[in-house]
Amino acid sequence: MSIFTGSGVAIVTPMTADKKVNFEKLGEIIEDQIKNHTDAIIICGTTGEASTLTHEEHLDCIRYCCDKVNKRIPVVAGTGSNCTETAVYLSTEAQKAGADGLLVVTPYYNKATQNGLYGHYKEIAASVDLPIIMYNVPGRTGCNILAPTAARIFKDVENVVGIKEATGNISQVAKLMALTDGQIDLYSGNDDQIVPILSLGGKGVISVLANVAPQQTHDIVASYLAGNVAESAKLQLKAIELVDALFCEVNPIPVKTAMNLLGWEAGPLRRPLSPMEPENVEKLKKAMKNYGIL
């Protein structure tokens, strides 16, 4: 049984003016996501600025989200780290908090060999009873889970059930699906590749776009899974300009800017992230207007 099928929002972490986590605003955003048919909340991922949260803040966000959602839809907690021991700690605490699943990114900076990745995921998985989605984003981590390694982990470790694929390499994704007989739960990690990933047997997307267009992102997946591939592709292509704008600077700079433009008061970014360049703000505004959300 998949943790979720459809659109999971990689939700932003709103901040107050003095850069403290704004839990009241986070609650409002969560409620709006559920209202607009988002299928899962992914808390404390890259988009949620997890890398600049303290461990205490990180876990407080997970606890708050689990309590707020209250099992209405699945909550997937980002608990990855470049230190296996830290990832185990965050994962066990997320399970205590009531998370429905975990999103665990590959080790960054120190990277790992393919055997090291196998051991990393095996140790984290052994510490919890929750289902785990591997997160493969070598553009950020410098570390790529190759298809044979991901397939090996999936086959050998019972509660590693899926992968968020953000390599952009469709050939690698196709090989992984072949090696797992299409059984691994596959999620697109790139908003411009939702339909291609679904065509290879994907379950949905873990999405940045869904922060500003939750219903529309849900509809891309739902249309495809209902058999209306042409409509799904149409919705995917309509979103391309906005997706490009949301990634014209490093995520989550543009999406948090977009949330502020929409009146969500998502607040500032923590360093080393910086405010969006003025010319890119104009590009983002134009894309949002063209998409019909501003």
- Can 135 be counted among the known catalytic residues? yes
Please pick, among 118, 121, 135, 291, the residue that the annotation labels catalytic. 135
pLDDT string in tens for the chain (294-residue length): 799 999 999 999 999 999 999 999 999 999 999 999 999 999 999 999 999 999 999 999 999 999 999 999 999 999 999 999 999 999 999 999 999 999 999 999 999 999 999 999 999 999 999 999 999 999 999 999 999 999 999 999 999 999 999 999 999 999 999 999 999 999 999 999 999 999 999 999 999 999 999 999 999 999 999 999 999 999 999 999 999 999 999 999 999 999 999 999 999 999 999 999 999 999 999 999 999 999
Residue with tokens 């998370």: 99
**Is 134:153 a contact under the CB 8 Å cutoff?**
yes
Please pick, among 68, 118, 121, 164, the residue that the annotation labels catalytic. 164
What pLDDT is stored for residue 196 in this prediction? 98
What pLDDT is stored for residue 84 in this prediction? 98
**DSSP letters spanning the chain:** --S--EEEEE----B-TTS-B-HHHHHHHHHHHHHTT--EEEESSTTTTGGGS-HHHHHHHHHHHHHHHTTSS-EEEE---SSHHHHHHHHHHHHHHT-SEEEEEPP-SS---HHHHHHHHHHHHHT-SS-EEEEE-HHHHS----HHHHHHHHHH-TTEEEEEE-S--HHHHHHHHHHTTT-SEEEESSGGGHHHHHHTT--EEEESGGGT-HHHHHHHHHHHHTT-HHHHHHHHHHTHHHHHHHTSSSTTHHHHHHHHHTT-----PPTT--PPPHHHHHHHHHHHHHHT--
Residue 179 CA neighbour count, 13 Å, CB half: 17
Domains and CATH numbers, the chain: 6-229 (3.20.20.70)
What pLDDT is stored for residue 60 in this prediction? 98
What pLDDT is stored for residue 1 in this prediction? 74
What pLDDT is stored for residue 234 in this prediction? 98
Cα–Cα–Cα angle for 148, 175, 153, rounded to 5 degrees: 30
**DSSP letters spanning 98-159:** T-SEEEEEPP-SS---HHHHHHHHHHHHHT-SS-EEEEE-HHHHS----HHHHHHHHHH-TT
Q: In the beta sheet, which residues pair with residue 77?
A: 43, 102
- Can 118 be counted among the known catalytic residues? no
How far apart (Å, rounded) are the C-alpha atoms in residues 193 and 221? 11
Mention every residue, 6+ apart, whose C-beta is less than 8 A from residue 126: none
CA 112 to chain centre: 22
| Distance in Å from the first CA to the final CA of the chain | 38
Q: What is the sign of the dihedral through the CA atoms of 27, 33, 35 and 40?
A: negative
